[in-house]
Structure formats: structure tokens, C-alpha cells
Structure 1
Amino acid sequence: MSLIKIRKKNPLIHCITNTVVTNFTANGLLAIGASPVMSDEPLDVEDMVAIANGLLINIGTLNKNSVEAMILAGKKANELNIPVVLDPVGAGATTYRKEITKNLLKEIKFDLIRCNAGELAAIAGINWQAKGVDSGEGEMDITLVAKETAQKYGAIVAVSGKEDFVTDGIEHYPVSGGHELMTQVTGTGCLLSAICAAALTLDGGKLENIRNVLADYKKVAENASKEKYLGSFQVEILNGLHQISRGE
């Protein structure tokens, strides 16, 4: 299990993420034994990412200040060979988000793009009816488009849904399981992206490590779904991450 390996390594993960999920993301990383830092000040991020083991860039609540920080941190991470994850939250919702996502992919070499189907469609330029930051609706061969996107950007692409799909452009794996309540708690996808950044710091194959994290996260969702109400479900996500990462 990748979560156990993350706990043993205790990587420092620099998260430039959205203001809605900072607390949940930080606590989720702590639950698996990683160390989070949540800095998005342009004057701070280059020094911060230089001491980190992984970088997450999440565009959920964009502003000019955070975008500048993303570019600076991403380029510094590339320079130092620190793995970078892109979570293009709501990439297809507005013209601005599409432009920022396109520019990030141009300026930064990402190791992983973790997204939902709607965000993948936006990156690939496929017509899709976005619904804010939710996946929305449309028609697309996810397997084909994810592979093409992975090949285009030289990155692993992980697409979350009822069945997750992960590919490096050549090999690919479906990951089944999970529970629909994960879509009703803010930040579960954002946290997964941060955990994936931690997984990219591990030894071994990156694709396999990401696949294992997705599988672990599905198990956490299934176990948490035993709780009847959303508030308890959210707490049980953290408990489940803590439990699995400890090998319990």
C-alpha cells in the first residue's frame, strides 16, 4: 500500500491550493504521516518548494497573486526535479480558468494531472457542459483522451469518477470501488491530489504508486460510507487514511 510507504517517508508537500480546502488537505496529509505546508505568497514559494519533496498546484480559487505563485513554484520545482501535480479544478467553467490551465501546462512540466472528466475535456479541448467545479456532462472516450493527454504533456493522467482511470499514455489501469458520498464533501478530490503528490516522492514506478493510492482512497471511501451523515463521513475519511497508512 502506498499510504504505508508515505508514512514511512514523511515527505514535505508544498500545497498551493484553494482556500476552501486548505485545512482538510493539511489534516489529510498529516493523517498519512506526510508534512503539509500551505504557502501561496510569490515572495515565499521558491524558497519553500526548494525544501519540499513534492508540489501540488490546485486552481480552485484563482487570483492573480496565487497564479504568479504557481508559476514561480512550478518552475523552481522543475529546476530541482521535485515532482509536481496539477489539479485543474473547474478548468472548463470559465474562459479565465481555461487560459490559466493552458498557461500552467505550457510553463510547467507536470508529473501528474489529476482531474475529473469535465476537467480532462477542458484540457483536451473537447466540448463539455461544465457545472462549476463539478464534472458536468458530455460525451468522451475517457480512455483515449486520457492517454492522448498523458502523451502530449509527458505526464501521468488520473481521472476520478465512479471508476477511476490512470495512465501514463502507454499503460493504463481502471480503479474501481469508492462511494458516491465522496462527491458530497468539499475537498475530497483536492486532498487526493495532495496525497498523489506525496506518492510521487516514493521509490518505485510512479504509475504503480499512483494506482495504489487511488485504490487505497477508494477503500477509505467505502469504509467511511458506513457513517450515516456527511459530517461524520468527513471525519471518517481522515480516520480511514490514518488507519490504512498505519497498516491497520
Structure 2
Amino acid sequence: MTTTPTVDDLAVTLDALRAQTPLVHSLTNIVSANFLTNVLLAAGASNAHIDNAHEAGDFARIAGGVLVNLGTPFDETSVAFALAAEAAHDAGTPWVLDPVGVGGLAWRTSLAADLLKFRPTAIRGNASEIIALAGLGGDTRGVDSADEAAAAVPAALALLDRADAVSASGPVDYLVGRDRDGGIVGLRIAGGSAMLPRVTSTGCSLGGLVAAYLAVAETPLVGLAAAHTHVAVASEIAEENSTGPGSFAVAYLDALFAVDADTLRARARVEPFELPSKDTK
């Protein structure tokens, strides 16, 4: 018997995020660092962007959660990625792998494959990135996805051998992970806004928010789902209060700040989905 996280579980986790204000150690790309930091501050967490090889390992041991984002890797930062992931794994710090562009470019794909040996707590990507990371093919177009999120479910399940929870983002997000008793369950999270892809770094900042939620959540799947749901609800509210990408970006930060547990309970669209039978055993 598996126990699927409920919307109330996610609302309780949002309250925990606000109460604890976890510090995220982000090793993210040069495009997203500023916006990601603002997203975390608005949502109720904080961020330190430390991606040099001298300090990354030490800081990963003391942070609440770690994000490793492969958006713009350099030689030095690639070393820092490994040091941070290894230190987080050894210290029991939850960490997130965001395999941006994996499958489309060989070097970053090999970096992602090497990082899997440090067992990320959660993997968050678009459908094509999740499929490519699992070695099942996929058609990655830069940082965009050419696959539907539902198509990534088999790949996400395969990656549970290397991580505790995995999500594939899209118009509807698909998440898989383990419940508190170790059973594998799937969650489908609807909602969000078509404006999200029109503002840079909304996906990368979701990875940072996942790291923050992992620091306070009962299970990795609950943390992953809470982050996705917070973004879905906030972006819907932002779209209602904006007229284009510029006003949406500002309204999105305001909405991340304004969403509380009651708002999440009222507006979240989260439901379980049935996994392929061979993977539910």
C-alpha cells in the first residue's frame, strides 16, 4: 500500500518553508542567478550563489539544500559541481540536479552522467532532458523540450535507481518518487501559466525552489511536489495580474510571496496517476 502526498501535505510544507527560511546553495547558470535568488527570497527561502571549486564543497555541507544546474558550465564550475554534489551526498544535504540541455550537447551530458553517482535527492528537468538523462533517447532542442512531460514517466521511473524523486515539467508536470514507506507513487500537477516560458530562468529558479523545499519536507517527493505546486499556483495568479512578459515577471515574484497555505489548498490541482504496472511492484 502506497501513500500519495496530499495537497494538505504540500500546504504544511509551505508553512515549514516560511518558518525555517532554508538557505540554498546554488550552482546555477549565469542567465538565472539573479532571478533565481529573487524567486527564493519571494517564496520564503534564501540563496547563496557559490560556484567556485575552492568553496563549493565546504558550503554544500552546511547549506539547507543544494542546486546543481548545468545551464552554462565552465571548466572550473564543472569541478565545483562535482565537489558540491559529493559533499552534499556525504553530509546528507539534499541536492537537486537540473540537467539543462542534457542530450543535446555531449560535454554537459557527460557531466550529468558523472554527477548521478552522488545520488541527487531530486532531479528536475523538462521531458526531453529526463528522457536523455535516463538513456532512453529524447529530442532535446537547446533548453526547450520537444517531448510531452507524460512521455518522460518511464525515464523518470528508471532514474529512481539514482535519485529519490524525479519531475518532468510541461503544461502538466509529472512527478515520481517514494512515499514515507518506500513505495513508488506518481503525481500529476496541473495549472501554471503559458507565460512562464516567456520569462527567462523560471525553470531554473524552480530547481532552486525544489532545493529549498527539500530542506524542510517530510520526503523528497513531498518537497518536489510542493515546489512545483507553489510555482503553478503563483504563476496562475501572476497571469491574472499582468499584461505581458515584463509585468508577468514582477507579478510572479509578488505572487510567490503572497501564496500561503490556504491559497495552495484552494487552488492546487494535484492528483495521483497510475504508474505502469511493472513499476508499481
Q: TM-score range by the shorter chain?
A: over 0.9
Structure-2 separation of matches of 1:246 and 1:128: 37
Confirm whether residue 119 of structure 1 aligns to residue 133 of structure 2: no
Task: Give runs of aligned pairs for residues 1-248 of structure 1, distance below 5 A.
Answer: 1=11, 2-106=13-117, 108-137=118-147, 141-150=151-160, 152-168=161-177, 170-226=184-240, 227-245=242-260
Provide closer, same or farther for how the CA distance between residues 135 and 203 of structure 1 changes in structure 2, counting only shifts above 3 A.
closer
Would you say the 8 A contact 1:200–1:206 is kept in 2? yes
How much does 1:245 deviate? 4.5
Query: Kindly tell me: are residues 191 and 140 of structure 1, through their superposed partners in 2, closer, same or farther at Cα, counting changes over 3 Å?
Result: closer
Give the 3 Å change call, closer, same or farther, for CA 23–146 of structure 1 in structure 2.
same
Amino acid at match of 1:161: G
2:131–2:156 Cα contact (<8 Å) kept: no
Deviations 1:83-142 (A, max 9, x none): 010000111121112111111112x12000001001011112223222111112489832
How many aligned residue pairs are there? 246
TM (norm. structure 2) is: 0.83
Unpaired runs of at least 5, structure 1: none
**Distance between the aligned counterparts of 2:126 and 2:35, measured in 1?**
19
Deviates more, 1:65-74 or 1:134-143: 134-143
Write the distance in 2 (CA, Å) between the matches of 1:234 and 1:82.
30
Contact kept, 8 Å, 2:40 with 2:208, in 1: the verdict is yes
How many angstroms does 1:217 deviate by? 1.1
1:145-204 CA distance string (max 9 Å, x none): 211222x21320011101101111611110111111111111001111111101111142
Runs (4+) off by over 4 Å: 137-140, 245-248
Asked if the contact 1:4–1:247 (Cα under 8 Å) also holds between the matched residues in 2, the reply is no
Read off the aligned partner of 2:236 and give its amino acid letter: E
Deviations 1:37-84 (A, max 9, x none): 001110011222222111000000011111100111111111110001
Unaligned stretches of 5+ residues in structure 2: 1-10, 179-183, 264-281
Q: Distance in 1 between matches of 2:169 and 2:150?
A: 14
Give the root-mean-square deviation of aligned CA atoms.
1.8
Q: Is the 8 A contact 1:56 1:84 kept in 2?
A: yes
